[in-house]
Structure 1
Amino acid sequence: MQIVHTISDLRDALAGRGRPAFVPTMGNLHDGHLALVRQAKPLGSVMVVSIFVNRLQFLPHEDFDSYPRTLEIDAGKLHAEGCDVLFAPAEKDLYPQPQTFKVQPDPRLADILEGHFRPGFFTGVCTVVMKLLACVFSGGPGTAVFGRKDYQQVLVIRRMVEQFALPIDIVTGDTCRAGDGLALSSRNGYLDDAERAQAVQLSQALRALADAALQLGASLPALEAQAVERLRKQGWQPDYLTVRQRADLLPPAEAPQPGQLVVLGAARLGGTRLIDNLEF
């Protein structure tokens, strides 16, 4: 596996190697990331993974400085999975000048849910993803794989790629979960033992809300409010638990129909903010 740190070295490493299959990450890799690498590898002739903790998508009070950086361990995991090229730029490599040109996503999709509670988050995401795609796919078309745990992010990126007519196929991978149902996340490492045992309550709350939405026939806002209150009573600080249409993340216009919906949630447990979703 070749490890490169600059854009020019990345392009040199990919020159003449055909169609890239690309998985962008912020590192501190877990089994969910590695599952995306395994999914992506047969989709191209050269397997590329990036590791970059993107300052632009962190709010001032968030965990940019403390976000775990484990490059050596991550490189070993990627080598074992057969990754061909690891792109691990420093900030000065990816942003040699202040990134004053930014990608502004459609606010109808990007300013709700995560975007409401983390203003500017998707501008930071779109800007770094656009730049990474420009670096990796400068030689021609290819495939990029993203995990559906970040459900809204995948929709935003897919829309961005479509509207800019980028020659890139966006493929999604299933959320990987621990045995108790907790969605794998690099931020799970912030949880202490007691919090880790409690963390599965988020996925349980989402499942209960999905079931109630299909079975009870009550108004969705009332069911969502009840779900938030139950989670709060268990010691969480919920931002949202909500039922939305998969296609656009808007509230369902009619009675919920299975196969078209997703339930999404974000809540803080202690000092750790977790997100999850379930399609139903």
Structure 2
Amino acid sequence: MAVPIILIVALIAGIISIIMALYFRYLVLKEDPGNEKMQEVAGYIEEGAKTYIKIQYKVLGIFVGVLFVVLLLFLPTELTGDKVPVISARLNWEQAIAYLIGAVGSMLAGWLGMYVGVKANTRAAQGCTIGTKKGFDIAFFGGAVMGLAVVGVALIGVSVLYWIFQTPIVILGFSFGASTIALFMKCGGGIFTKTADVGADLVGKAEYDLPEDDPRNPATIADNVGDIVGDIAGMGSDLFDSYVASILASMMLAAAFSIGTVVFPFGSITLSEAGRNILVILPIVLCGVGLM
């Protein structure tokens, strides 16, 4: 089955998205990080966020490795036979590799968002001392890094996998890998966020009558770490999963069309195999065009 050359639009869009994300990262990092006290507090937040992510990724790496082996050895690749299906003994390396790539992509999207988030916070605050527009621009560029990285990595992954294997079935593994990471990143980060938030409020407001996010409250550091790992890293992985799943769902619907005459309420059309292939990759291409 020949892959339509139009698929390269999505691949180029994904590459451009990654380049723009790196450019916005450069714009953020070249700004003034603030005075010594601001950098000290930001350093505590960055250290806490990196410690959390390092431990979580270590555990997730083991979990993903186990599931990779399970998919490789035990996921049926094809069913043969007449009345009683017989499962093929061939290793399902396509789905297993796609799963691994999806998991790594989701982890990468979350890490990029977290990395720039901890660097942009003091720079945005320092920018606001110059003017609200300066602070807004820094914060906007910092957020754009994660947004562009999410769609860029997703489009590149989906496009390359379809180009190699020429079937949306393999992309199921890619989506499954993204979902695995998003589940733990979003839920784990959310639990950490709320725990730190409630703890900081109880100690600061109830016991010492301090306002929220008061720098005199040490628990404020944990609260800000929770915002980084839950609302940035967790959200990045979650958006990556949702973006890939929405593309895949549309591709699977198109692949379900039968070759021949397709009847709609308003009429009928004759669908060839080449036409169905174009319908299958249309969601990827539309996402690429929309990104560009």
Q: Normalised by the size of structure 2, how large is the TM-score?
A: 0.20
The structure, 1 or 2, with the larger RCO (C-alpha pairs under 8 Å, 6+ apart) is 2
Q: Which has the larger Rg?
A: 2
